[in-house]
Amino acid sequence: MTENDWSRTERRKNIQEQQQSSSKQDENKRPRRGFWKKFLYICLTLGIVLFLFGVGAFYWIIKDAPKFDETLLKDPLSSKFFASDGKTVIAEIGKEKRNEINIKQIPDVLKNAVLATEDARFYQHHGIDVKRTLVAVWTNITTGSSQGGSTITQQVVKNSFLSIEKTPTRKVQEWYLAIQLEKKFSKDQILEMYFNKNLYGNDVYGVAKAAERFFGLGPDELNKLTLEQAALLAGIPQSPNNYTPTVESNLDAAEKRRNMVLYYMNRHGYISKSEMEKAQSTPIEDTLNIQQAASNKYQAFVDTAISEVQEKTGGNIFEDGLEIYTTIDPKIQQVTEDVLSTNDYINFPGNDKLQTAVIIAETQTGAIKAIGGGRNYQTGKFNYATRIKRHPGSTIKPILDYGPAIEKFKWSTGHIIKDEKYQYSNGTPIRNASHTYAGDKTIRDHLAWSRNIPALKTYQEVGADYATNFANSLGFPITESQKANESNAIGAIDAASPLNMAGAYAAFGNGGYYAEPFTVSKIIYPDGTEKNLASSKKKVMEDSTAFLITDMLRTVVDSGTGTMANVSSLDIAGKTGTTSFDQSAIEKYGLPNNATRDAWFVGYTPQYTGAVWTGYTETTSSDDYLGGKTEHFSKLAFKEIMSRAATSTEGFIQPSSVGKLGKEYYVQGGEKPPAPKIDKPTNAQAKYDEASDSIQLSWNYASETSSETTFDVSYTVDGNTTKLTSTKESQAVLQSPEKGKSYTLTIVAISEEIKSDPASVSITVEQKTEVPNSPTNLQAYFDKNSNNIVISWDNNNAIAQNVKFTVWFTVNGRTYRLRPISETHATLSKPKPGQTYVISVTASNDAGTSAPAATSVTVEY
């Protein structure tokens, strides 16, 4: 084959290979083009389906949207509050028209503040700010935080037609109605609605009413608003309950919110940086001129119910025409207000900074029957019953110490803990208020007398985690950061209010079930729809734990620190609590070292639970502390209110899970108390009754138990003991005791086969003393050798005791006496010769003197 032939052959081969390769490539390309065509077709189809689905979903959602009722944009419907009887109207909110103003009355500084804060592109969008909404959605997805994207138009729609619950359905309806609103009204008209409809806290609706309440400016004086005031008004609607300046505790948060509005105004070019900084440096107090609002009856309760409805439903009670059924008992509420706001029950001092706050709730349900928000409470004022966060003192001990211990370890009420010198885990000493130590005592005794050291020991043994979880389950708030503080065990934690203390203690009286205290049982909307707002009960501890705590707290009220709160006709369990000032405050204000900062009493019956706090709103002088009588005000207020509120005298019932040994209770299957001893008889007395020839024995006995008590009585004489009787009386008789003998009589109390220590008394029965007989055989003669007259006689006394003899002699008309003697003879020395001596002798003892025996003798020369 020539070279050319070879070349042609190779060329053909190469061409064939290229054609085959090209054919394979074409085969590979054809399927890939088909894939993309199919993919695009599927995407197009899916997009159309999703679009149609979205359109359908949109129309499905908006079909249930509220009707666009223009009357709701301007005319509010008032809401009625009913008492617990379901009939008595206690308040009607929203019936008075707000101060309506038009857009021309609103100054530019206020408009600019609102636009910069709420909707910077208000005049550019058509009801929905798409860019802002997308940013908010993206932020919600990526960070999990809730970001607002609502325009002013949407806020008007929401406040007029919708609830504030955040759901996709409600948001779509809001968008739809916002577009409708923009079609029917101009931007200025919508902005005017916004200013007239906003809530600015409590009962303040509309910017004109807010300016009047906060700054004293009427509707025609809005042009006098300063930059600082306008910024404050613009910031409040985001969270009225937290930013309204009528509540003193809100001022810090309100000032921060105002300063944020000023920042937005600067960012959007409405004010300069220097104007911003100057306004931000102005104290919020300098811009306020708060005007007092007219109060409704039972204002503290109504204010609380308003907040509760708003928090639980988002309902606009000032406009929505709701029927609100509350739990209030007007009688109990009136008594509570009378006790706090008059001196008819408690003699309050003239210091207005002294406050007392009260919650009365049903023990079984948590329904609040009365709220004492403070002395002379008025609307908009700080509600001390629901909003304070103060140290609870020793009222925390059942919640954080002994309750958890009984639940975890099944301790009995007779569990022994030693009260002794002690310290916290970090070495800091802890002391009892009495600065003494009680030694080994039961937890009942420690709780009754509010000792700190046993409480801390109990808390340490239970553990902070378990104790905190137990307290939290009772509605008492302790955060993770707070629970590391061991002084929580004795109430050194800023967390207590009468509201949460009442809820916690009611669980002990409710067999271990907790129900969050509530003021509103249900609401009825204008369309007849009902919504139940009553709290449900949740089991948080065993009924045995609840009963053991309850019985120990009975002792507090019966014979411990809480006796001043006792009402004799009621079965009350309760606890006192006091807190002290730190040393720096004592030194700064010149307070006594024992000055009290907070005083509490929390108590309950099976019917009602009451929590009362007393303290000063602030301490700025040496007079601002509790002491003497004032530290007892909480106990006195509880007693005065509860004695008038309670209609049931039923008592707490011991559950089957609890046993009793002596006067102590224990959990079945748990620790039993130590072998009990009952109290021994006291004031034993014995006396001999001569008329009946008997020893009369009597004694006193007071027992804390309701069990029947008998008494074994015995007597001991000459070393021999004999049982006299067994009796249920507190007296006994020993007939015909032997005279001259010493008797020791002993009484032992016996209850439920438990014997007390003996009580004893001794008595000696003396023989009867009689007047002695006269001496007999009286003789006298002169003994010349000794120159004496010798006298002798016989003792004629067999019965009379302690007889002495007295010798008398008379000579020359004069009578003389020798000293009394026990002997039956005597001597007269050196008598005068020739004289006659007349001699007589008498016998005598304590009973008397006998007749004399007489004789005579003549002395020889």
Annotated catalytic residues are: 118, 394
The C-alpha torsion from 505 through 509 and 511 to 512, rounded to 10°, is 0
Instruction: State the Cα–Cα distance between residues 488 and 476, nearest whole angstrom.
Output: 12
Longest dimension (CA), the chain: 217
Order of all β-strands in the sheet with 788-794: 776-783, 788-794, 825-829
Residues 6+ apart with CB under 8 A from 841: 775, 778, 791, 793, 805, 806, 807, 808, 852, 853, 854
In the block, residue with structure tokens 């007779």: 414
The first and second tokens of residue 85, run together, are 């009887």
- AA identity, residue 797: N
List Cα–Cα distances, 307 to 76, 310, 445, 474, in angstroms: 19, 5, 42, 22
Query: What's the 3-state SS for 196-210?
Result: HHCECCCCCECHHHH
Residue 558 parent element (H or E): helix 543-559
Give the gyration radius of the chain's Cα atoms: 48
Residues 6+ apart with CB under 8 A from 432: 419, 438, 451, 452, 453
Task: Check if the beta carbon of residue 662 is closer than 8 Å to that of residue 676.
Answer: yes
Instruction: State the Cα–Cα distance between residues 861 and 850, nearest whole angstrom.
Output: 35
Residue 714 parent element (H or E): strand 710-717
Residues 6+ apart with CB under 8 A from 218: 208, 211, 212
Residues 6+ apart with CB under 8 A from 581: 591, 595, 597, 619, 625
CB < 8 Å & 24+ apart, contacts of 753-761: 754/662, 754/676, 754/677, 754/678, 755/678, 756/677, 756/678, 756/679, 756/680, 756/681, 757/677, 757/680, 758/680, 759/680, 759/681, 759/682, 759/684, 759/699, 760/684, 761/684, 761/685, 761/686, 761/697
Instruction: State the Cα–Cα distance between residues 552 and 544, nearest whole angstrom.
Output: 12
List Cα–Cα distances, 688 to 101, 425, 486, 739, 740, in angstroms: 99, 63, 62, 10, 12
Instruction: State the Cα–Cα distance between residues 115 and 127, nearest whole angstrom.
Output: 14
Instruction: State the Cα–Cα distance between residues 217 and 823, nearest whole angstrom.
Output: 118
Task: Check if the beta carbon of residue 195 is closer than 8 Å to that of residue 211.
Answer: no
Q: Say how many residues make up the chain.
A: 861
List Cα–Cα distances, 827 to 735, 782, 841, in angstroms: 49, 10, 13
- AA identity, residue 38: K
- Which of 577, 563, 566 lies closest to 605 in space, CA to CA? 566
The first and second tokens of residue 455, run together, are 């409480």
CA within 13 Å, CB half, 840: 13
- Which of 423, 599, 401, 602 lies closest to 488 in space, CA to CA? 401
The first and second tokens of residue 150, run together, are 């609502």
